[in-house]
Each structure stands twice: as structure tokens, then as C-alpha cells.
A and B are shown apart, each in its own frame.
Chain A
Amino acid sequence: MTSSHPSDAQAVSASSSARDAALHDVGATKPVLANPLTEKDETVRSPDLETREYRLQARDVCVFYGEKQALFDVSLDVPEKAVTSLIGPSGCGKTTFLRCINRMNDTIEGCRVTGKITLDGEDIYDPSLDVVELRSRVGMVFQKPNPFPKSIYENVAYGPRIHGLARSRTEMDEIVEASLKRAGLWSEVKDRLRESGTGLSGGQQQRLCIARAIAVSPEVILMDEPCSALDPIATAVIEELIDELRAHYTIIIVTHSMQQAARVSQKTAFFHLGKLIEEGPTEVIMQTPRHKKTQDYITGRIG
């Protein structure tokens, strides 16, 4: 990718006027406030979205896979009810950081996390914290669509069921319908809810995974390159969806596409070789990055 100009991306999705509107909306509501730099560490911190609350905060997070260190002292504040995108060249630790937030790293053998990540002021690595509850609050959509090999209905209903969120059958039906509608999949699957979720197309599967994640009403949704396997149309549908979800959820998205980061996110964090190099409002990072590496990356010189 050599261009970072958002209009390139708009061309892709020009077919949908709703999408255009959504994109303009992103630009219009983006609060850009001048703020003093926080020169706490090497990371370049830009004037920030200070009006927002930061319920999710990472402080000096280091991650080791065995002997190998994959993340170095990452500190990041994630604004609430907004989209934060993580960008950076392959292998820089974006997925690793994302997995720290819902403690998915626990499932990887030999993985060790130090530092502090707080959600609502609570340390999520506190031994007294129940990781199952944490994951019900922090949902995740994986890079590769991974629906359960069960019916479409069951895919969405599973989370609410195990967490006891629906008290009756009709309530469950409502949750399933609302989640599928919000994920933009309802009209396509409403007549085949009993069919297997694995029988859907790649893009539909990914939206099903999003519906599954939002069915448990998490507070934070982590998305790891949700569009990497999708065509431009499906990508546009999901981007539109992310934009709508922003009103209710705190979203962190990993993406390799500068255009996508520009289109959907309000805050962007740039990683390089396991370090957080620069973070700030998306258009500042995209248009006037301060750090040389950030500049090189978004103009396509490294990556």
C-alpha cells in the first residue's frame, strides 16, 4: 500500500451510500483536541482524545514466549466507545497485545505477561480475577473466521446460554435475532438458522463470529484483522458494522490496511518490533506522524 489517503478506500465502497454517510460521520465526530505531550517513555504520544474515559489501560506490558520477548513495555490507553486500531509490520506484536487484553495468552504454553492491564481500574491479571468472567466482558473476533460446527442459531445462542443471559426461549430468540441484525447477517440467514454455520461464505462466517461475540454484550470487542480474508464488498459491510458498533462498544482492531484504519478508527497505535512507537488520533497518525518509523510505515517504506 503506497497511499494513505482515505479517498482511495472510499472508492471501494462507493456503491453504498449508507456507507459513505457512515464514513463522513467518522470524520465529523472525530474530536481533535490539542493536548500536551505525555513524554513518559519513548513512545510518541499525540494530542489525544482526552474527553473520553479510559476504562481500559495498559501499563508497561511485556510479553515473553519462552525466552523470546515479543512485547516491550507497551503502555496504551484505549478510549471508550470508540475504535482503536493497531497497525504495524507483520510480527510486530499486534496480535500478542490483543491477546493480552482477554488473557488468551494464558492458553499458549510458555507465554508470560508482565506489566499491568486494567479494566475499570481492576487489574485483569490479578489472580483473584475470574478469567471466564473477563472473557465475557472482553469479546474477541479472530483473524480467521472460526464459527462452531453447529447451527447458525446455536453459534450465536451459545455465549448467552453459558452465561445465563436469557431467561426464556423467546428471550434467547430475541438476543439471536438482535445480534445477527447488528452484525448485518440477519436478512441473509433468517430462513436457515438451523443450518450449519460452517456452510456460510467466508464473509458471512466472519459476520457470524461478530454476532457471536456481541451476543454476550461484551464491553470491549477485540478484532484481529477481521477482514484479512474478505473481498472488498464483504470488507465494506464489516467496516460499516464496526462503525455502528462503536456507539455501544469499545473496539480494538488490528489491521494491515492503512485505509481501513483511517476509515474505521478514531485512535491508532503503531507498533514496530514489539514496541509501541506512536499513538494518537487516527488522522494525526495518518497525516502528520511524528516518528520517522511511523512515517515510513504508512507511506509504505517498511512493512
Chain B
Amino acid sequence: MASPSSTSIKAQADRRRVRVRASLGRRHLVEWLFRGAGLTAIVIALGMVVGLFWIMISKGLPAFTQATLSAEVTFDPDIITAGPPPVRESGQSEADYRAARMAWEGQVARLNWNALVEQAVRNTAPAGMEVDRRTALALVSNIDRHNLRDMFVANPHLLGRTVKVDLLASANTDNWLKGTINRDLPDSRQQLSAATRQLADALYADGKIRFTFAWQIFTNTDSRSAPAAAGLAGAFVGSLYMMLIVIVLAVPIGAASAIYLEEFAPKNRFTDFIEVNINNLAAVPSIVFGLLGAAVFIRYFGLPMSAPIVGGLVLTLMTLPTIIIATRSALRAVPMSLRQAALGIGASHNQTVFHHVLPVTFPAILTASIIGVAQALGETAPLLLIGMNAFVAAIPATPFDKSTALPAQIFLWQGNENRNFFEARTSAAIMVLLALMITLNALAIFLRTRLERRV
């Protein structure tokens, strides 16, 4: 057909195609620009994360090994003069025996254990090397005498015997051997005397000092007198208590409030007011929660300072809005058709919510809770205001005991005067905290995918 109308239609179609093509170029360009920008943003973000992890790991990894001296320790009867431990005699009451035992242990504690350490270092030193008292004691950590004492108390038969014991080298020795202190600095600016440095090098060359895994990071509490033995155990347990308190309080209260507000509460000005304030609460700086905790829980309710119970309560208040908001938006995302399906066969409102709406939102609530808890775990500012940055040298037995928390411990170590040693320790602590966070988030992802597959 070559009628005029068909040619004009063809011309019209051609013009249309030209116009579409012209706009096509622009549209594709916009799309490419957007994709490029997105990709750049992701690359930058990833680069920063990788950089952060790289710095953290390269700094923190050396802290997981520590210089250890394997020494021959003689439990010399000339030094250990406390005699054999008391034996419970027939007819002696339990209390009397205990008292005798306590007296003996006190006696043991007052012995000159440093002399034992000194002797052990001297015996291990290369033949012909003069080792004086100060040189010997500077080489190893302050913790070693306590460890030897504990060994003896646990096993008094060691008296008079010589055994191989791994003594923890001091933080300064560790620095020197790891090279975290500049070896070319003049004597006046070195932490160790020339004699101790020489001894350390000689023992290292002999293979008597080795680098072993630093278990004390996980088993010991913080320590000022023996920095080489400082560990995270106290802070870890403190954080664990707080986490438990947040899980036990914030998750059920948060989820219940969200369910009530979203599903049952009448929609009126009062509930609108509450909603606005919950959103505001989520935006309150965390340090303000710390002030509130200090004023309310410590001043008013008289709860102890520096205790995980107060920290847990403060972090609960902080986590609540996060969980409430996430749960409400999850509930709101449930399609109307699911509610109608349940109501349509005569399920009550309550049954609709608990049998149908909640099960499908459960994975989202769980994820929100775990992420909220993980956030709380990393929170530092409010803890500083309730005294959880105090130096505590014991693992808290209950949430009411004094304790620190992992982030507060990081803060404390970061400020320690023995920078050379604690820089690595701080990074190691950060690695532990990050590992805990990543574990929690992985758990969230795992549970979510598992539960979502089930429904």
C-alpha cells in the first residue's frame, strides 16, 4: 500500500523514533552516572572498611603472642620457710582447720617470692653472665611471683623440687624483643636497663624466651602492676552481663510495646504523641542516657556505681526505641490480605495478631533485636558516666559487682602510659569486640534466613 496516508504514517513513526532515540541517549547517560556514583560510593566504603580492619589486625595480631621465659624454678626451702600446710586432725572442727589453713596461706603469701623468681632467671641466664636482682626482676612480669605462689599453695609437694615453669616476660621485655620500641634510642630513653636488654637478647637467642599465645588476654582481668598480664576477662564478663540484661528487658518490653501500639492501641492524639516521643528517644545522644542512668538508677534508686546492672538498664533504655521502631515498621509491612484472611474465617483480633501477623514478622523483630543489642554492646559514652571506666581487677561475680565493659576497657587501654605495649593490646581488644559483634550479626542473619525459609 503506497497511499499518501500510509507514507505520512511512516514519516510520523520515523519522527517518533528519532525523538525517542534522542531522549534515549540522555536516559542511558543518567543511568550510567547513577550506577557509577553508586559503585564509587561502595568502593570507597569498602576500601575504608578494609583499611580499618587492616590497621586493626596488623596492630592487634602481635598482641596475641607474648614473650615467655621457660625457666627452671627451684622451690628452695631456704626461701619457702612456711613449713608444710596444716593437716586436719581428728577431733579438729571444720572452722579450726579453716583458720589454720588461712594462717598458713597468709604466711606463704608473705614469703619473698621475688627471690625465687630472681633465682630462676639467674639459673636460666647463659653461663658466665652476671645477673643482678634488678636486672632479673625487670625481665619478667610482676605476675610471675603470684603465679609461683599459687602453684605452691595448690601443690605444697613442690617444696625442694626444681620444675620447668613458663614465666611471663614483662611488658618492657616484650616491647624490646618485638621491636615496638626503637632499639637505637639512647639508654636514658629506654624502658629497660642495658643489662636487662642484653639478658633478654641472649635468652631469646638461646631459645629460652619464645613467643607463645597470650592466653592471659582472655583469662586475666586488667592489671596495673603487671601490664604484661592485663586481660579482658573482667570487661568481657561485664559486657556479657549487660548484654543479658538488655536481651531480657529490652527485647520483650520493646516488642510488646510495639505490638500493643501498632495492633491494639486506639489511634488518637495520645498514641500519636507517644509515637512522636519514641522516635525522638531514638535520636537522643547516648551520653544523655548515661546522665539519666547516673541520676535515676544510682542517685535515686541507690544501685551501685560501675555495676553491670546499671549499665544494662541504661543500655536497655537506649535500645528500646530501636526495637520498638523496627518492630512497628515490620508489623506495618504485613499485607492487609493476611489479616483479612484470618479475620474472614472468624479469627479474633488477638488470634489474628498472634497466630498470623507475629509469626511472619518474627524474623524481622529478631534481627532488629540482635542489631539493637549489638549496638548497645559497643556503646561507650553512657558507661563513662556511670563509672564503668573504673579500674577493676576482678571478674564480676554478679551484675551488682564493680566491672568494666569491653568498649570502656578499650578506652582505658588506649590511655595507658605504656603506649608501646598497650597500642597492640588496644587493637587486640577491638578485635575481640568486633569478633563478638560480627558473631551477633551473623547469628541474626542465620536466624533470619532459617526462620524465613520455614514460613
A is bound by B = yes
Residues of A within 8 A of B267 (CB): 109
B55 at the interface (CB under 8 A from A): no
B347 at the interface (CB under 8 A from A): yes
Query: Per-residue 0/1 for B344-370: is the Cβ within 8 Å of any A Cβ (1 yes, 0 no)?
Result: 111110010001100110000000000
Query: Per-residue 0/1 for A160-197: is the Cβ within 8 Å of any B Cβ (1 yes, 0 no)?
Result: 00110000000000000000000000000000000010
B381 at the interface (CB under 8 A from A): no
Query: Per-residue 0/1 for A126-144: is the Cβ within 8 Å of any B Cβ (1 yes, 0 no)?
Result: 0000001111100110101
B356 contacts A104, C-beta separation under 8 Å: no
Instruction: With both chains docked as a complex, state the minimum distance between the C-beta of B269 and any C-beta of chain A, in angstroms.
Output: 16
Residues of B within 8 A of A104 (CB): 340, 343-344
| 16 A-B contact pairs sorted by A residue (CB < 8 Å) | A104-B343, A107-B343, A133-B346, A135-B343, A135-B346, A140-B340, A142-B340, A142-B341, A146-B335, A146-B341, A147-B341, A148-B341, A149-B359, A149-B360, A162-B346, A162-B348
Q: With CB as the reference atom, state the residue of chain B lying closest to A214.
A: B345
A102 at the interface (CB under 8 A from B): yes
A212 at the interface (CB under 8 A from B): yes
Give 12 new A-B contacts, CB below 8 A, not counting A140-B345, A146-B340: A107-B340, A107-B343, A133-B346, A135-B346, A136-B346, A142-B337, A150-B455, A158-B342, A158-B345, A159-B345, A162-B348, A163-B346
Q: Main SS of chain B's interface residues?
A: helix
Query: Per-residue 0/1 for A205-226: is the Cβ within 8 Å of any B Cβ (1 yes, 0 no)?
Result: 0000100110110000000000
Q: How long is the Cα–Cα vector from A215 to B344 in the complex, in angstroms?
A: 12
Q: How long is the Cα–Cα vector from A149 to B356 in the complex, in angstroms?
A: 8
Give which listed residue, A133, A135, A149, A196, contacts B345 with CB less than 8 A: A135
Instruction: With both chains docked as a complex, state the minimum distance between the C-beta of A153 and any C-beta of chain B, in angstroms.
Output: 15
Q: How long is the Cα–Cα vector from A149 to B359 in the complex, in angstroms?
A: 9
Instruction: With both chains docked as a complex, state the minimum distance between the C-beta of B341 and any C-beta of chain A, in angstroms.
Output: 4
Residues of A within 8 A of B356 (CB): 148
Q: How long is the Cα–Cα vector from A215 to B347 in the complex, in angstroms?
A: 13
B339 at the interface (CB under 8 A from A): yes
**Inter-chain CB contacts under 8 Å: number:** 67
Instruction: With both chains docked as a complex, state the minimum distance between the C-beta of B93 and any C-beta of chain A, in angstroms.
Output: 64
Residues of B within 8 A of A133 (CB): 346
Chain A residues 97-122 with CB under 8 Å of chain B are 102, 104, 107, 109
B341 contacts A102, C-beta separation under 8 Å: no
Instruction: With both chains docked as a complex, state the minimum distance between the C-beta of B448 and any C-beta of chain A, in angstroms.
Output: 15
Q: With CB as the reference atom, state the residue of chain B lying closest to A135.
A: B346
B151 at the interface (CB under 8 A from A): no
A132 contacts B346, C-beta separation under 8 Å: yes
A139 contacts B340, C-beta separation under 8 Å: no
Residues of B within 8 A of A146 (CB): 335, 337-338, 340-341
Query: Per-residue 0/1 for A68-112: is the Cβ within 8 Å of any B Cβ (1 yes, 0 no)?
Result: 000000000000000000000000000000000010100101000
Q: With CB as the reference atom, state the residue of chain A lying closest to B347.
A: A162
Query: Per-residue 0/1 for B402-445: is the Cβ within 8 Å of any A Cβ (1 yes, 0 no)?
Result: 00000000000000000000000000000000000000000000
Residues of B within 8 A of A109 (CB): 267
Q: With CB as the reference atom, state the residue of chain A lying closest to B348.
A: A132
Instruction: With both chains docked as a complex, state the minimum distance between the C-beta of A139 and any C-beta of chain B, in angstroms.
Output: 6
Residues of A within 8 A of B342 (CB): 148, 158
Residues of A within 8 A of B348 (CB): 132, 162
Residues of A within 8 A of B455 (CB): 149-150, 196
Instruction: With both chains docked as a complex, state the minimum distance between the C-beta of A138 and any C-beta of chain B, in angstroms.
Output: 9
Residues of A within 8 A of B337 (CB): 142, 144, 146
A139 contacts B360, C-beta separation under 8 Å: no
A148 contacts B340, C-beta separation under 8 Å: no
Would you list the 4 A-B pairs with minimal beta carbon distance, nearest first? A136-B346, A135-B346, A146-B337, A159-B345
B346 contacts A148, C-beta separation under 8 Å: no
Q: How long is the Cα–Cα vector from A136 to B339 in the complex, in angstroms?
A: 15
Q: With CB as the reference atom, state the residue of chain A lying closest to B452.
A: A149
**Given A107-B339, A144-B337, A149-B360: A158 and B355 interface contact (C-beta under 8 Å):** yes
Q: How long is the Cα–Cα vector from A212 to B344 in the complex, in angstroms?
A: 10
Q: With CB as the reference atom, state the residue of chain A lying closest to B344.
A: A140
Residues of A within 8 A of B355 (CB): 158, 162
**Given A148-B356, A150-B455: A216 and B341 interface contact (C-beta under 8 Å):** no
Residues of B within 8 A of A132 (CB): 346-348
